[in-house]
Every structure is written in C-alpha cells, then in structure tokens.
C-alpha cells in the first residue's frame, strides 16, 4: 500500500540487551543541528542503527558525492571507521588513500583493515548532450573501478566480509508501466548495458565466497544536489511541467532512505545480490511534476514536448528523461527495512520545508 509516510526508524531495532552508541548519535546530531529542526533530530537519533560493540572499518569510494557524503557521516556517527579512496586524497578530511582506476593503481595496503567495501564512484551521467567520449567515461569509470576493487578484494590476505558495489535502476531499461523487482531481466539500451557490465565485475568477489550486494539506485531526492536540485530553478520560476507524455514512471528515493538502505545492505547477512534502492511508491512524471509544484506552491503547466527534449539533449533525453522504469524494492521490504518516506508528496514537503 502506498498511503501515508512512515515516520518510524528506518532500521530494525536490535534484540533486547544490545547497546546503542549514544556518543555516535550525539556526534551525528551536532553535525546537523544547524540544519535540522528539533522534532527531526529526535527521529534521527532513533533512526541510527542499534548494534553491538563491534565496529566496522569501511573502505569507501565515491565518498565526496551526494550519497557518499551522507553515508560516510552516518557510518562514522554510529562508531564505524571510514577510509576514503580518492584520486585527490590530500583534499579529504580524515583517513584517505590515493587511487587511480583508469591506471589500475590501488595501494596494496587498501584491504588490510577493511571489514567492508562500499563502492559508489562513477563519472556523472548528466552532462549536456552525450558524446562518444562521455559515454566511454560513464562506462569505464564504473567498470574499471569495480574491476580494480574486485581484484584487490579477492587477492587480499584478510578479505572483507561484504562488498557493496553500486549499480542503478537503469539496469532494467524502458519497461513502460510494467512493475519490476530484482528478478527482472535487464534492458537493452546504453545505460542497461553499462549496469550489466558494472555488476558483472563484482561477480568474481562472489565466486570467492564473499557476500556481494549491488544496490540498484533510483532517482535520489535531496535539495542539496542530484536530480531534485536541478529541477528546482525552473519550478520555482513557475515554468516547470511534464516531460513528453508525462506517463513515464519515475522510481524515486529520499536521500535519508538511500543511506538507510545502504546501511541495511551492510548489516543484513541475508542480502546477497541486487537490491533496488527505491521507495515503494513510484509515480509517473505527471504525478511527480504535480507533487513538486504543490510542494513549492508553483504552477506546472509548461509541458516540454518529446521532440524538444530530443533536440536539446539527444540520446540522454531518451535514456534519462523519457524512459519509464517502474521499480519495486522487494528485497528491502522482504528483509524488514522500514521506509521513512513511502509517498512522494510527504518526502518533498519535508525536504523543501526543513
């Protein structure tokens, strides 16, 4: 059922007798206090994972992106240690190691302390009209980096317990109104082929008897970046509207639930394989447009014709804006994850008013 929004902790509580790390909670709340209202701080305190005294050392790529920044903060807040892989380690605050996926360079010591590896790095997909060079970098940045990490994990003397290697819902291709879950076959367009190759590189880790999770991430909503931030200007100016027919499905997810699901993947031993990182209630582009207009109290009558999108953006318009992907989070719900935001309207209202 897609009615209402659940304001309960997005992670399952631990059994009685386990200890919550209050020091980590206080640190996390202090870092957000200037941006967060008191009632939201109460929820954030409750939403941090209850766990034993066992902390993880997490090796993470993509830690400076929208998702990576928030995930790193959440991990450190609950007491875990994060070492960041970066091509500019000198610019990273805290523990960091240099690497270069294109050159196949990764420090031999990278896996020495890692209990888990989280791989989020990849060239931004949205970048004007796609050129052959940009498409190559989109693919290679994901495939080569996953290949490099997978080889390091498999050859490490002390192997991590879990390898969380990101993917995307583009895996499914254009499905119209057909709802799909993690068992669906892949699509055949460019982004689907990228996701297939991306996920395939993590299979060698699974063959080494290490748990592998491929989070297929949907449209992440945050006013601080990503798709929603790019939409804000035209909608605030009152010139937002449906794209093409508006009937294409948009499988969205709030940033808080995105982080929650990645933590859930790390902490839940029964999750192995793909996991859709989307809210349970995807909407059409028309419905999304209406909800965003209502949240901003702006009109949404400026529809953009399909031909205009294609003329302006070329192939990217078909792959990102006009493709319909109706995705359901079956694995997340089957393993007990409780979404903070199930409905788009409530999510947008909270994001845009806090």
Q: Provide the CATH number for the domain around residue 259.
A: 3.40.50.720
- Residue 327 pLDDT > 90: yes
pLDDT at 44: 42
CA–CA separation, 30 and 13 (whole Å)? 23
Overall average pLDDT of the 105-113 stretch? 94
Do the domain assignments include residue 6?
Answer: no
Contact 349, 7 (CB under 8 A): no
CA–CA separation, 337 and 217 (whole Å)? 16
Do the domain assignments include residue 12?
Answer: no
pLDDT at 223: 87
Query: What residues make up the domain containing 68?
Result: 22-353
pLDDT at 342: 96
- Residues 163-194 have pLDDT tens digits of 999 999 999 999 999 999 999 999 999 999 99
Do the domain assignments include residue 93?
Answer: yes
Average pLDDT, the chain: 88
- Please give the structure tokens belonging to residue 174: 């254009």
pLDDT at 21: 41
Distances (CA, A) of 131 to 1, 136, 141: 42, 9, 15
Contact 351, 296 (CB under 8 A): no
pLDDT at 128: 74
Do the domain assignments include residue 8?
Answer: no
pLDDT at 179: 98
pLDDT at 57: 97
pLDDT at 38: 42
- Residue 11 pLDDT > 90: no
- Residue 7 pLDDT > 50: no
pLDDT at 46: 39
Distances (CA, A) of 12 to 15, 55, 331, 344: 9, 17, 15, 23
Do the domain assignments include residue 322?
Answer: yes
Q: Which of 42-46, 83-87, 154-158, 214-218 is the least confident region?
A: 42-46
pLDDT at 3: 54
Tally helices (H) and strands (E) across the chain.
13, 15
Do the domain assignments include residue 154?
Answer: yes
pLDDT at 353: 83
Q: Quote the pTM value.
A: 0.86
- Residues 277-287 have pLDDT tens digits of 999 999 999 99
Do the domain assignments include residue 36?
Answer: yes
- Residue 256 pLDDT > 60: yes
Local confidence band at 129 (pLDDT 50, 70, 90 cut-offs): confident
Overall average pLDDT of the 87-91 stretch? 92
- Residue 201 pLDDT > 70: yes
Domains contained in the chain, number: 1
pLDDT at 35: 43
CA–CA separation, 19 and 48 (whole Å)? 12
- Residues 12-63 have pLDDT tens digits of 333 333 333 444 444 444 454 444 444 443 344 334 444 545 689 999 999 9
Do the domain assignments include residue 5?
Answer: no
CA–CA separation, 340 and 7 (whole Å)? 5
pLDDT at 1: 66
């Amino acid at each position: 059922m897609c009615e209402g929004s659940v304001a309960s902790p997005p992670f399952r509580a631990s059994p009685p007798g386990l200890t919550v790390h209050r020091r980590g909670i206080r640190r996390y709340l202090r870092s957000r206090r200037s941006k967060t209202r008191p009632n939201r701080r109460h929820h954030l305190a409750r939403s941090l994972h209850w766990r034993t005294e066992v902390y993880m050392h997490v090796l993470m790529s993509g830690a400076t992106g929208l998702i990576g920044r928030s995930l790193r903060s959440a991990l450190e807040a609950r007491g875990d240690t994060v070492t960041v892989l970066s091509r500019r380690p000198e610019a990273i605050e805290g523990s960091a190691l240099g690497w270069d996926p294109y050159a196949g360079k990764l420090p031999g010591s990278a896996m020495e302390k890692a209990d888990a590896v989280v791989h989020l790095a990849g060239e931004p997909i949205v970048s004007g009209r796609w050129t052959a060079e940009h498409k190559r970098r989109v693919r290679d940045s994901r495939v080569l980096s996953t290949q490099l990490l997978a080889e390091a994990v498999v050859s490490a003397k002390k192997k991590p317990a879990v390898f969380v290697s990101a993917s995307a819902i583009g895996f499914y291709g254009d499905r119209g109104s057909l709802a799909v879950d993690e068992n669906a076959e892949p699509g055949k367009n460019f982004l689907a082929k990228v996701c297939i190759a991306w996920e395939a590189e993590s299979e060698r880790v699974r063959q080494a008897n290490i748990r592998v999770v491929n989070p297929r991430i949907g449209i992440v909503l945050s006013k601080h970046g990503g798709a929603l931030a790019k939409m804000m200007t035209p909608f605030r100016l009152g010139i937002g509207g449906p794209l093409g027919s508006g009937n294409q499905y948009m499988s969205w997810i709030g940033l808080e639930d995105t982080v929650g699901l990645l933590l859930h993947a790390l902490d839940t031993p029964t999750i192995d394989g793909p996991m859709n990182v989307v809210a349970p209630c995807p909407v059409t582009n028309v419905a999304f447009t209406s909800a965003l207009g209502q949240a901003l109290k702006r009109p949404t009558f400026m529809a953009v014709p399909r031909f205009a999108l294609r003329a302006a953006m070329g192939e990217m318009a078909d792959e990102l804006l006009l493709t319909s992907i109706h995705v359901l989070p079956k694995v997340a719900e089957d393993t007990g994850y409780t979404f903070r935001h199930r409905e788009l309207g409530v999510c947008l209202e909270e994001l845009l008013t806090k």
